[in-house]
Chain A
Amino acid sequence: MATFFGEVVPVFSRAVDDDDEEEEEEVTEENEEDLAIRRELERQREVHVSWNSEISPSVETSNVKRFPCSHFVLAVGHNAAGFLSTYVLNSGRWEVAGSAKVWNERCTKSNPRPGSLSTDSSCVFYRMVSDPTILVCQCTSHVAEDQQFQWCEKVFSCMEKTHLKVTVLSTCPVASYKTTESVFTLPVPFLKALSTMEFTQETSCSRLEQPNIVDGLPAAVLSYCQVWQIPAVLYQCYTDAIKLDSITIDAFRPVLSHQNLCSFSTETSNSEEILKKIVTSEEIQSNLYT
């Protein structure tokens, strides 16, 4: 756009990307090579979900191709995953049940090998040894916008959904919370809940008010559950810490009293110790003054 003084300034739109429109028109003239590159990129960005050998046969052989699941707890991000490690995976015995692998522009590691199963994957599923229908997932990697829908489709397609209940834990910067007051006056971190129609229980905290919205993988999971009538609740923790932080992890504690989780999570005496270990292991030790 040219201003009054004749300078040409670019115009940005929050709603549309002009590149997209140009691309649209050019796509018909695209040659074979471009198409091949595009297909290869799409293939790389596919989500790969693999289950361990005990689950895989039941997924493959049973008629419905699903394994029974009563609770699914998903932790998105390092703080929520840290909470699961401290208060859930710490009580009772858990085994690795599978993993989901995604590759996108934010991944620093090389491309995933489809079919390989390792615990160092950034999205790991655990199931309880005493009750294998309880499944938890720690997802610490970035799942890109175009992969979130597919992630839900692939993960939920393997689960028996009749008695399924879903709990999602996630964090979000408090700066993106909208309120009539100033966000500086808010006591951070705090929890907000958002649930699907089928979720009839009381939530552990107040509901996320409009016009606040959630996005990313938690939104994709909630949308999936809303559309397919699965009771699900999201606990979103608004925090001012960007890194792994013990205060933020502790903010999720009201969720423990919630009936979806209390059956398999307990606050043990060594929780604090584990929490300390998790937080310090992530810290980059400064050697400036030593």
Chain B
Amino acid sequence: MFVPCAGLPPPQLRGCTLTLPAVSVGNVGQLAVDLIISTLKMVKVGYFHTDCLVPMAGSDPYADLGANSKLSINAEVYLLPDKKLAVLQIRSPLIKNKAKSFRQALISWIKRSEFAQVILLSSSHAYQRDDQQLLGTPFRYLLTPAMQSCAGNAMHELHWKEMEKVVPYPGVNETEKRIIIPGGGITKSLYSDSCAEGIHMAVLLKFCSEGDNILDAFGLVNYLNEWLQLVDQSSGDSTATSTKWKIPNSWRLLFGSGLPPALF
């Protein structure tokens, strides 16, 4: 259920583009969304209050160090009215057996808010790619039939690669092909639901492995930026592209605290 922030009127979400992460391998989608919120200085407008996510709370992840920051919780909605961009950040994993009700809550909110389009940022296990997926770029996209008509051409012009259908049981049945997104969490099921509900949805994903996934997040957010042009595209140099995004302060200590000095 969407609840607007204290003292704010319900935000105008109609016609906006909603970007949200799938909690997936390496948390790449979530990290990419963090970069978007932090770089574009998006304003928090509400909460996605649900029993399907593990509760968590902390200080504002985008505030400057030492600032008297506000409380942040597991699912929050941010808005940038100028760009008609809304973002739902999900900060904790789904509770077991609640994936279905979470998807239903999401879909009904998306429909009620009348978003123009939905972009799901996701990732998939790199080690489960088949031979054709090993070639070329690690980025893939998927469009729902409703989205195909309005964004299909754009994808074609960008020379993006569509997510391939693969044989689920190689050697047993080579004719049956399906879309499989291993490690993608609710990506596949939310995509299927959106197809059935006629929602304009694009899934952007990267094949990756668990570890330090900061570079994967930069990759995915740059991939999104090629299409949506959220920040200025600088030269093709990869180091320059990574500096245009602002890393939030909360990304510090991603691998734990400092080491005891007695070690040295």
A residues apposed to B, CB below 8 Å: 1, 11-18, 20-21, 23-24, 27, 38, 145-146, 148-150, 153, 177-185, 194-198, 207-220, 222-223, 226-229, 234
Contact = CB atoms under 8 A, between A and B. Distances in A.
B174 to A, nearest CB: 20
B55 A215 contact: yes
B-side interface size class = 35 or more
A152 B77 CA distance: 22
Nearest to A146: B95
A223 B96 contact: no
A148 B55 contact: yes
Contacts of A38: 97
B55 A182 contact: no
Contacts of B169: none
Interface string B2-42: 01011000000000000000011111001000000000000
B187 to A, nearest CB: 9
A229 B70 CA distance: 13
Contacts of A198: 6
B228 interface: no
Contacts of A14: 27, 210
Contacts of A24: 99-100, 189
A16 B73 CA distance: 20
Interface in B82-106: 92-100
Contacts of A219: 55-57, 73-74
B23 A16 contact: yes
Interface string B34-59: 00000000000001011100111111
B183 A185 contact: no
Chain B CB within 10 Å, residue with most, of A21, A185, A228: A21
A234 B55 CA distance: 14
A235 B59 CA distance: 14
A226 B185 contact: no
